[in-house]
Structure 1
Amino acid sequence: MMNSENWIYCPVCKNKTRLQIREDTELKNFPLYCPKCKQETLINVYKLNISVIKEPDAQTQSR
Structure 2
Amino acid sequence: MSKPDIITDWLHCPICGNKTRLQLRADTELKNFPLYCPKCKQESLIDVKNLHVTVIKKSEQK
Q: Is TM > 0.5 for Structure 1 vs Structure 2?
A: yes
TM-score w.r.t. the length of structure 2 is 0.84
Question: Residues of 1 paired with 2:25 and 2:40: CA distance?
Answer: 24
In the alignment, what sits opposite 1:3? 6
Alignment of 1:17-56 (within 5 A): 17-54=20-57
Structure 1: give runs of 5+ residues left out of the alignment. Answer: 58-63
Question: Which secondary structure does the structure 2 equivalent of 1:54 belong to?
Answer: strand
- The count of aligned residue pairs is 56
CA apart distance, 1:54 = 2.8
Tell me the percent identity.
Answer: 62
TM-score w.r.t. the length of structure 1 is 0.83
Moved over 4 A (4+): none
Alpha-carbon RMSD: 1.5
